[in-house]
Structure 1
Amino acid sequence: MRLIFLRKNILLYLLVFTVLLISSTVYAWFVKDSSIELYATGTSIVNYFARGTGEENDPYIINDKKHLYHLAWLQNLGYFGNEKIYFEIENDINMEGMALPPIGTEEHPFYGTLNGNYHVISNLFISNNKNELITNFNLQNVNLGSKVGFFGKIDAPSNPENPNAPYNPAWAGEAKNFYLENVNVTNIVNNSVIGIVAGHNNGHLSDIGVSNNSLKLTGGIYSQSDYVLIGELGPNTYWEGMPSDGGSKILIDPNDSWGGDLRSTSSQKYRMIESSILEHAYYTSVITSDTASNPKDFYFINQVTQSGSGNQFTLTPTTTGYTKINNVNEATAKGISETFWYYYQNASGNQKIRFLRLGGTPTINSTVLVPFEGTNISIPQNGIWFKPKSNGTTGISFMITNKSNNSAMSIYQFTRQPDGTINSWTEYSFIFPVTGQYPFKNYDILYFTFEVDSNYEYFVGLSQNSPNADAGFVYLVLHGVGYSGSDISIVQNVDYVMRQNGVFPRVSESTLNNALLTFKGTASSTGYLYFNKTNYSGTYVYYYSAINGLEIRDLAAGTKDAKLATTGLNTIFPDWMSNYQNNP
């Protein structure tokens, strides 16, 4: 046998099964319905599946719910080690009456490949609650972890001969080509990350559809989900298409949504920027807004010279390091959003472009407390704070508003000490020269790019170099999830689906919903979150929270395909609302 059994308790587990086999004992494995009995037919792994050896050309075949159960527990008990094991689903599988743990834990991540062959896994309960997971072996020393979903954690093993070798996507776990219908994911572990398809994915996912699913959260327990479909993405994974464009998007656009000025006299000292990912971008007082009905020219800054040292630098465009943008095609070729370009192009008469005036130079001594990932942190006042979830290139745009001096605006970069104190405060000041060889003039818009690192926090504020020569802030965006390169795993075509003439469409052949749903917080009481794509009162991905104080948010800017359900809940979420909630 090519599988290496690493733990003594696993060997004992197999020995017990051998004794049971000899004595012809029939077992009830983990089920919600104790009348369902599954047979342990031998100590060879192949006997836990319909057939196969687990090789790429002879995968383990899954055609019954007990086989999926075997996969989950063999995985979580460490039977597969660091091996690349292959599985295929042969037919639709109705899991009614049975519950599974998440497949893959932090101790034993899933490194295998599961090909669903476009079959449906339905009526499944997934839980990390050991009291619900009735088994014929002791779960006391089994840690199901805090990554919860159909898959708990998908990752790639390290190279045993070189633990410091870079991530290798060829070794990463992979799941593809299946549907999850009427699936409930239950979490009782504090600080968990939850996703319907996977809690944590640092591997490959493709062509996976979900339909009429729910999450059960325990009262008093903090949990979060960046995408609902996937709880969180690992550092070596890129999600092609939506919802990656919104997944870790920092979008700060006062023209899109502006809740009013934050003045020194206002009782409100901060406002979360809801077009960005939850709690990762804030306006802080003092900020006032202004508008321009006829902005002048639009320049993309191609090249800057950097000067300075220590914790203070200036970035000045070279005399030839800029390009005038004249139309939308030139704008998008430089990575500038069409939406932002049209704000600029159409700004005339009553349709004006909004820009922000930031009050006072920020310091680490003048801060305000804001919510962030289950706690509160101090961030500077007098500007715009954001914390990227991934490395990337930020596009940032300013309007020259002070032609008598070289206008300036700064991005401050910093880290934190373990006690939360702001540390390594460094200023990068963007200088906008309006004299000499430069064509820049009052009310011109200048668009810069700036590399950001997920290990840092950032703050947009007045420059300490030229605090009296401010510019107006117009726009900032950071797109993407993970990073690009050859050493990455890919997520693509994972989405909400609905049956058409009784059949699910292939996600890869469908129009993506672009529904970026997310939540985080402490459940006030045990309750449910619901998600389903249906054509009730128009085709939407409907969502609903039955937990007071825990809000599901749609964070993809401009999304039209997701909608909060307010009426018709039993119709929108069949079975869950009337049946499961009353008989969990």
Structure 2
Amino acid sequence: MKQTLKLTTKLIIALLAAVVLFATGSLAWYYSGHELDMREVEGSVDFVAAYFNGGDGTKEHPYEIDNKDQFYNLAWLQYLGAFNQPDENGDIIQTYFVITDTNNDGCIDMAGETLPPIGTRNNPFLGNLDGNGQVIKNLVIDNAISAGNITGFPDLVENNDSFQNEGVQIVGLFGVIGQLPDDSYSYDSSVNEVSNFYVENLSVKTQLDTALIGVVAGYVNGTVSNVGVVDSAINIAASGVTAVDATNLTANLSDYSLVGYCTDAYKDTVDIVTVDVKDPSVTVWSDSGNGAGNAWGGSIDMLSLYNRLNVFRTAAGTSQTSYVSSETVVVDEIAETRKVMDQIPSSTLIRQYDSNSPAGSFSFSYNAYSNGSFSNEQYIYLMGKVLGEESPTPTKTVTTITKKNEFLDGFLISDGNENYLNLNAEKTGYVSGTSDVSATVWAQDNGGHIFTIDNETGYYYYLNAEGVSSSSTDANAVSSATVWTYTGGKYSCTVNGVTQYLFYDGAQWTLISENGYVITDGNGNYLTYTGTNTIANTTDANSALVFSFRTDDGINPSGTASTVINGTRYYLRANSGTLELSETDASSWSNSGNGLNLNGYYLHFDGANWTLARQRYTISNGSNYLNINANRTGVTNGTGDATATLWEFSSYDGTGTISTVITGTRYYLNRNNNNNLTVSQTNSTNWTHIAANGTIATNNRYFIYRYNNGWSTRWSTYQLTITEVTIENLSRLEQRSVSVTPTNIEKTPAQLQVVTRTVSVEQADYPVDTWFPLSVQAESSADYNVNDESLYPALANTGYVISGSNYRNSNYQRSGDIRVSKYTLSNISSSYANRALSDIYTIDGIGRHTISDSNNTYKKYADSKAKLLNILQSDNSYVYGLHFMDAAISKDDTITVDKVTINGDTYENYELPRHSIDFNLKKAGYINFFAGNYFPGNTSFFSLHQIFRSGNTITEIKEISKVYANENSNGAEAYIYQYSDGNYSSNDPRGDLLFDQA
């Protein structure tokens, strides 16, 4: 069983080998003994100038090959051993070459030239050539070095018969790359490389009876990487050619391939990738139906398959299949009712059609795809049900809310004056209410958590010091909820080690600390208020306001700060930078031990008023300081820190404004279009300050700098000194007793109904599985009709296509495990043009290589190729393919079909594996297919499995990794399979390896 591969793009082969290129033969070459005079040619002509476009052959300055003459020179100089000369230590002087393109035509056209291979047994190529992405085209390589075969001998060869008529057994564009096993050259093998070029219309000829032939190279013991081969061929003039024995390693040789022989050290490094990569990958199956009776088994082509699926897609209509992805069930044990509500449909983007007949059933998504200028490329993703714990979707989430005939002993919380503590409508905090009828019923569990149960959702909501938390489970499940203690008619909790009491302040429910604090600067000034509830200063400590803080650890209280005045609670807040008391809005204060601050603004007494000030800095360079000028319109230079302007940064180590405050007015530092620094009460410049290097610059990189006796901006970096100035009279907190007492809590008994909430996940009612026969009764797609038997399985049908939905795409969403596509034909123009195939490759034990039609021995090859061409030519705009996505085959992931027809027999309740093509050969035969791909390095088109059944039920599925001939002519099986687990299908002796899935 062999694979025949047709590549849809240029091939790039990354082997390990080395290549060189040629120059021309218009010069007279001199040869002295066995050494070529590389220094002088025709007097004082420099060797480099004479034979190449430039360079000296070193890694830093490789010889430049820019035209066909210079490529000719390369080939013949290598043939004569010019680049195999030793140095004084006996090491080969390895030469570097590069193909250049001064004409900007991207190629060296060698039309009319026939050259010897570059590198021979006597003079292997040991250098390094970088093709620079250029194309070498229209060249003929011949291994018969004689007149009539080689064109344009150099003078040295023309005048010396010893260089002619010898023949070269190892032939390719490069004959021998690296040394042969019996050679003993001293050289650096890591340098020995040929890379980065294409050959087009290259013809490699052999005139000898014994030869080792490759298009790119005959023998490789070095590095060959990124070499593309297009429209090239091997021409064998001699009859009965046999492979030359490369030191008794003939088992590794191939007579006709891209590389004739590759040493063991480099075999595992072969990496074949494609260029001009397109997505998606398209695999075209084709086999000919022209076999003898059922021995051939029929065929399935992708154009017919695509047309057949489109018939069912049209029959399915345009509506998408939906399923219920979630629903809520409410059970009322008292009313004895059950309601299903809140059903959420999930659109699967899937259409489905169940023929309820042998024609099959279908679930698919259909995508039109635009690829550049092509907008009619289309994919049909074949879907199916999803099974298994690792693939539980699509599922339905069922939430069951049960209102139990069961009640807890609960209570209402109030201050005794009909002010009730209620859960707010958003269920995120608490509010006050005045009706006991609508008041929230609370309960307290054994752990001290206070909670209520929402009658509609079954959620438990917990009364916390920091708002409300919720849970879908019972009350004792939430250990993180606040623990409350009810003692002496008061509810209290501990927050950061400080006791906080549940408190109604006359307007809302909150917490009050057992501690109170006055705000002072430590110099006899205290924060108080006037009769209009505005902030003021007092020197009488007894007149200072006493605040409670929301978060109080007894050391650095923080959070909201509140005080009670005449029974009303007020909060200390900043409104547009001004301090005030508010009944509703509160600021959250930070306290790191050096005073209260609000978003970087510190509360302090400035000598007259309590105000907020940002941290201030001086900006200087040496003893020179950036100061605001007297009329407050610009800047001036100062020489002392005592009188320096104190600047504020809205973002100290970042981007923002720079300003200063003088007698209550803020002035911003700006830059005008003349690079001058200005000052105004409005900001027009955002500055970026980088603390690490002390620079201040505008966003377009103008830096503040000092020059002469002034300050300005410039384009280059300038380092400044930014010095923090301590804010005087920062606020401090002195502890006092609170001025109000905690609220006496009244607990009114009430009943709290128990409501439970459970969530389960069930298998959703998902679209039908996809399965359909490989071949149908209709002879052409024009006869397809979902309403008759035209799409029923044909008598010679060998199996079925079965898909599923295990594959996940790049967005980790479900997609079809099998994709059938319609793709623009022009994207495979490098392999199919002018209604003909340019190259056909195969994969076997030696890797990927070409085989000429005249030497191809694959069964049904000619018929299969003719069928493929017929398909491609029938629609000269598109190519059609079937692509297996990434989904594993398993005996635990199957479907059971009521009735199938296989090889003329009918089976009922027949089990088929998802994500596969399940086929049965009538008798021993071959699998023929043509395939193409657009994915780099992808040579894996499918996995092959053997299915074991007991009756119609699958008992085991084994993946086949290799297929061998059976040496036992009387054996029960014609072939022996090696499975992926290492076991074999038979103990009979194994013969030739016929198929290697790896």
TM-score by length of 1: 0.39
Task: Please report the TM-score for the alignment, with normalisation by the length of structure 2.
Answer: 0.24
**Highest CA radius of gyration, 1 or 2?**
2
Q: Which has the higher strand share?
A: 2
